[in-house]
Chains A and B, each alone.
Chain A
């Protein structure tokens, strides 16, 4: 099975900072990658699908990109409401594995 890794596992940044989270697939998954945001006590929320397509209603400060099997979620200007854990997920075929998550908080 394809494994998904994320880095870093956690980060602390200031309001307004640019934040980058990386997800790596152990094998090629084309563009079949999604990013989710999960706030404490809440269900995950879809942010990005197909590696770089912004889900409707998601602020434009979120963006996704890809280089081979490396995928990046970028928050261009971190806001207090962005405090959450972020997960990537491979979506090409079962098993639809999630990455281990990256916890983002405010410095």
Chain B
């Protein structure tokens, strides 16, 4: 069965970096894009961008350029989201989702908390 399993919660200080993983199983990893979605506490879903799992080419939404990096390790069917220079406003749950137009499978979410 298709699964996306994300890494566990992280607690970081401002200025630090974090890397969230999203491991796919149950399907051929390179046949679907991986998208990333942020949800700040009590807020809605915010599309961050996507990565082409065939080419590794990332596309970032406005507001997610510079400090945010999407990457892949296709040998282990895993996508990564790295955030550098963490700020308090980065505190959120980050989701990965398998995408072919719509998102039919989602990871369970990774809570990143940024606090001094």
Contacts and interface: CB of A to CB of B under 8 A. Distances in A.
B75 interface: no
Interface string B80-103: 000000000000000101010111
Interface residues of A, number: 25
Contacts, number: 60
Given A95-B61, A95-B62, A100 B44 contact: yes
Contact of A46 (B104, B107, B109): B104
Contacts of B107: 43
Interface of A: 1, 32, 34, 36, 38, 43-46, 49-50, 55, 85, 87, 89, 91-92, 94-101
Q: Which 8 A/B pairs are nearest by Cβ-Cβ distance?
A: A34-B102, A49-B102, A43-B106, A98-B45, A91-B101, A101-B44, A96-B47, A95-B61
Interface of B: 35, 37, 44-47, 49-50, 59, 61-62, 95, 97, 99, 101-104, 106-109
Contacts of B109: 43
Given A32-B101, A89-B47, 14 more contacts: A34-B103, A44-B45, A44-B103, A44-B106, A45-B106, A46-B104, A49-B102, A87-B44, A89-B45, A94-B49, A96-B47, A98-B44, A98-B47, A100-B44
Contact of B47 (A36, A46, A95, A101): A95
A99 B46 CA distance: 9
Nearest to A98: B45
